Amino acid sequence: MSEAIIQASNLKRSFHEAGRELHVLRGVDLSIREGEWLSILGRSGSGKSTLLHLLGGLDRPTSGSVVFNGTDIFTLGGGRLDRYRNRHAGFVFQFYHLLPELSALENVLIGSMLGSSVLGWPGRRKAAHRTAKEMLDRVGLKDRLTHRPAKLSGGERQRVAIARALVNRPSVLLADEPTGNLDADTAGSILDLFRKLHREGQTIAMVTHDRTVADAGDRVVTLTKGRLAAD
């Protein structure tokens, strides 16, 4: 069995809302193994996005740890936590979050810029262009490099977002309802793309409220009442 690349232990996250405390995650234990495609299934409001954000270092827990490569990422200083997020976590969201003014290629390049230091960027630009094109090719969009998001279909927008997430060759692809805004056929083609990436060795953690989508992964865990249960 492969090793865990991310290990979350007793993760808790509460929010203060309207004078009361909302306990969303109540002690989540989870490991993501290298090369696996893990699906986290849960109803709307169960805390799936909250959990995914913690795994990728986009948010901090109330308590508990996320260990990556032997280090609890929340003990890292701000700059190093940013580096973890930019280099090792590739995020894909339900609504793509592309910049409307930029072409597909430029949107993917943004991912490279985030993964590079300001000083290092000029020297990396050429290679970054090459990698961005390679990633768009990998997701089936080599003929759409100059298209802006408005000129792309929903499925194509999500492919651009996936290329952006992959451009720094992240240790884990974190996908938040990646097919939630797509019709069934297009959703199927995005899952096919995930299958291909998974076959190529990409580790994936995907959250969804949809059982059929979840079943595309190797292993399904369910988030309920703030805790995870094996399926």
Ligand X SMILES: Nc1ncnc2c1ncn2[C@@H]1O[C@H](COP(=O)(O)OP(=O)(O)O)[C@@H](O)[C@H]1O
The residues that touch Mg ion, with contacts defined as CB under 5 A, are 48-49
What is the DSSP-derived secondary structure letter of residue 2? P
What is the C-alpha to C-alpha distance for residues 170 and 168, in angstroms, rounded to an integer? 6
Q: Out of ligand X, Mg ion, none, which partner does residue 50 contact, by CB within 5 to 8 A per kind? A: ligand X
Closest CB 26 distance from ligand X, rounded Å: 12
Q: Is the Cβ of residue 22 or residue 229 nearer to ligand X in the bound state?
A: 22
Residue 41-80 contact track with ligand X, rule CB under 6 A, x = bound: -x-xxxxxxx------------------------------
Q: Out of Mg ion, ligand X, none, which partner does residue 132 contact, by CB within 5 to 8 A per kind? A: none
Closest CB 182 distance from ligand X, rounded Å: 17
Query: Tokens for 33?
Result: 């193994």
Closest CB 229 distance from ligand X, rounded Å: 15
CB 141 within 8 A of CB 107: no
Number of CB atoms found within 10 A of residue 174's CB: 27
CB 105 within 8 A of CB 133: yes
Give the strand order in the sheet containing 4-17.
Answer: 20-33, 4-17, 63-68, 71-72
Residue 34: C-alpha distances to residues 51, 96, 173 (Å): 19, 25, 11
Residue 10-39 contact track with ligand X, rule CB under 6 A, x = bound: -----x-x----x-x---------------
Alpha helix segments (H runs only) across the chain: 48-55, 78-88, 104-114, 121-138, 154-166, 184-199, 211-214
* Interaction of residue 95 with ligand X, rule CB under 6 A: no
Closest CB 133 distance from Mg ion, rounded Å: 31
Q: Is the Cβ of residue 9 or residue 62 nearer to ligand X in the bound state?
A: 62
Closest CB 50 distance from ligand X, rounded Å: 3
Q: Is the Cβ of residue 136 or residue 187 nearer to ligand X in the bound state?
A: 187
Number of CB atoms found within 10 A of residue 45's CB: 10
Q: Is the Cβ of residue 48 or residue 198 nearer to Mg ion in the bound state?
A: 48
- How many helices (H) does the chain have, and how many strands (E)? 7, 10
Closest CB 14 distance from ligand X, rounded Å: 9
How many residues sit in the footprint of ligand X (CB under 6 A)?
Answer: 12
* Interacting residue ranges for ligand X, rule: CB under 6 A: 15, 17, 22, 24, 42, 44-50
